[in-house]
């Protein structure tokens, strides 16, 4: 009985520390910074000092909010276009990752059981080598005389890409929508494959036998059984690709060109080149609003997946 009481007391004490410490850390370093960004995006700038949004003057509480940055962002054509094109590139990347990653994860999950750990390891290994260096490597592969550049020219793929309008000229692949999307697909493909594999490997294969017994052809069974069952994996993977792609900075900077507008780059330039902190904050707030919906979807499915594990 004594022991039990000591345990309960320890848990009560331990519980506070276990929850409290990371909670406080996240509030201070994740939540608070956001609130500050929100504040700066609506603050008047007085020289180099941001005016307080709330001020107490002569006993009157005054709230001064400057929305001109937001008005500017919605009226200015460039910002609007940039947001649209970020969404477009992120969406194209997500679709391509799904198209390549789904069959990949499917074949992985149906490979010999003894092979699967090695196959999984091989997908994760590139994670461990620098992302920056792997993106840089594509620069070498795609510039003139690079391996991939030569291969694509030999296969006459450049005619196709030029017709699609994603490269500026025949034989020129760098600094184009093509190189940007290629870099993003390359970087984020494992983020699509891993949740899909996790999902497909757990599937009960007897369901397919049942479908086949009931007269479904393998093709029909795939679309009516396998795909619906892997919905959670598809959504998790798509969000893991789509959300970070929207704000991607390094890949557009290294592989994209002047015509490939991405919002992460605009934020960077507002901050580092123009030193316009309120504008950079406004861009950030609008970007958060943009990813809030996919983020909520992601969290919901993440929570569901964890409930299923229980």
Partner 1 sequence: MSGRTFFGAGFARGFSKAWLTAGYVFLYLPIVALVIFSFNDSPIPNVWAGFTLKWYAALPGDREMIGGLWLSLQIAFFTACGSVVLGTLAAFALVKYRRFTGRTLFGGMVSAPLVMPEVIIGLSLLLMLVSVQRVLGFPERGMLTIWMGHLLLGMAYATVVVQARLQDLNPQLEEAAMDLGARPWQVFTLVTLPMIAQALMSAWLLTFTLSLDDVVLSAFLSGPGATTMPLVIFSRARLGLNPSVNAVAALIVLVVSVGVVLASLAIARAERKRAQDMAAAARGG
Q: How many residues bind partner 1 (CB under 8 A)?
A: 99
Among 140, 164, 227, 259, binds partner 1 (CB under 8 A): 140
Q: Do residues 66 and 276 lie in contact, with contact meaning Cβ atoms separated by under 8 Å?
A: no
Among 53, 92, 137, 157, binds partner 1 (CB under 8 A): 137
Q: Do residues 224 and 217 lie in contact, with contact meaning Cβ atoms separated by under 8 Å?
A: no
Q: What is the CA radius of gyration of the chain?
A: 25
The CB-of-22 to partner 1 minimum distance in angstroms stands at 4
| Contacts to partner 1 from residues 147-176, by CB under 8 A | 147-148
CA distance linking residue 36 with residue 133, whole number of Å? 33
| Contacts to partner 1 from residues 57-96, by CB under 8 A | none
Q: Do residues 157 and 169 lie in contact, with contact meaning Cβ atoms separated by under 8 Å?
A: no
Report the residue number, 156 or 206, with the smaller CB distance to partner 1: 206
Which residue stretch of 13-21, 62-70, 76-84, 158-166 sits at the interface with partner 1 (rule: CB under 8 A)? 13-21
| Contacts to partner 1 from residues 238-297, by CB under 8 A | 239-240, 243-244, 246-250, 253-254, 264, 267-268, 271-272, 277, 280-281, 284, 287-288, 291, 295
Q: Note the helical H segments in 202-309.
A: 206-213, 218-221, 227-229, 231-246, 250-255, 263-272, 277-309
> Residue 242's closest CA among 179, 286, 293?
293
Report the residue number, 244 or 257, with the smaller CB distance to partner 1: 244
Span between the terminal Cα atoms of the chain, in Å: 31
**Tokens at 176, concatenated:** 């184009």
> Per CB under 8 A, does 40 bind partner 1?
yes
The CB-of-93 to partner 1 minimum distance in angstroms stands at 14
Mapped onto helix, strand or coil, the DSSP state of residue 172 is strand
| Contacts to partner 1 from residues 95-134, by CB under 8 A | 100, 103-104, 107-108, 110-111, 119, 121-123, 125-134
The CB-of-26 to partner 1 minimum distance in angstroms stands at 4
Q: Do residues 63 and 239 lie in contact, with contact meaning Cβ atoms separated by under 8 Å?
A: no
The CB-of-189 to partner 1 minimum distance in angstroms stands at 7
Among 141, 161, 229, 232, binds partner 1 (CB under 8 A): 141
The CB-of-59 to partner 1 minimum distance in angstroms stands at 25
Q: Do residues 188 and 245 lie in contact, with contact meaning Cβ atoms separated by under 8 Å?
A: yes
Q: Which helix (H) or strand (E) holds 56?
A: strand 54-57
Report the residue number, 165 or 299, with the smaller CB distance to partner 1: 299
Contact characters 192-231, partner 1, x per CB under 8 A: -------------x--xx--x-----xx-xx---------
Report the residue number, 234 or 243, with the smaller CB distance to partner 1: 243
Q: Do residues 57 and 234 lie in contact, with contact meaning Cβ atoms separated by under 8 Å?
A: no
CA distance linking residue 92 with residue 90, whole number of Å? 6
The CB-of-17 to partner 1 minimum distance in angstroms stands at 8
Longest Cα pair distance anywhere in the chain, in angstroms? 82
């Amino acid at each position: 009985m004594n022991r039990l009481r000591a345990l309960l007391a320890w848990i009560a004490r331990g519980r506070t520390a276990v929850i409290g410490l990371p909670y406080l850390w996240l509030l201070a370093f994740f939540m608070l910074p956001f609130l500050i960004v929100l504040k700066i995006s609506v603050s008047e700038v007085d020289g180099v000092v941001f005016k307080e949004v709330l001020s107490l003057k002569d006993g009157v509480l005054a709230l001064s909010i400057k929305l001109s940055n937001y008005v500017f962002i919605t009226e200015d054509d460039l910002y609007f276009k940039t947001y649209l094109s970020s969404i477009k590139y992120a969406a194209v990347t997500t679709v391509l990752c799904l198209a390549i990653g789904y069959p990949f994860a499917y074949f992985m999950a149906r490979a010999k059981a003894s092979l699967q750990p090695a196959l999984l390891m091989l997908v994760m290994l590139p994670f461990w080598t620098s992302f920056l260096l792997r993106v840089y490597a594509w620069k070498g592969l795609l510039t003139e005389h690079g391996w991939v550049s030569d291969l694509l020219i030999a296969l006459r793929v450049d005619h196709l890409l030029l017709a699609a309008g994603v490269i500026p000229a025949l034989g020129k692949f760098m600094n184009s929508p093509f190189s940007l999307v290629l870099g993003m697909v390359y970087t984020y493909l494992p983020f699509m494959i891993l949740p899909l594999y996790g999902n497909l490997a757990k599937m009960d294969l007897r369901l397919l036998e049942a479908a086949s017994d009931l007269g479904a052809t393998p093709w029909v069974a795939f679309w009516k059984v396998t795909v619906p069952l892997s919905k959670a994996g598809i959504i998790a993977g798509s969000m893991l690709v789509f959300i970070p792609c929207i704000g991607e900075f390094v890949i557009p900077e290294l592989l994209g060109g002047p015509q490939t507008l991405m919002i992460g780059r605009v934020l960077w330039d507002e901050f580092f080149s123009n030193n316009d902190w309120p504008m950079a904050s406004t861009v950030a707030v609008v970007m958060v609003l943009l990813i809030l919906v996919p983020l909520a979807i992601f969290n919901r499915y993440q929570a569901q997946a964890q409930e299923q594990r229980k």
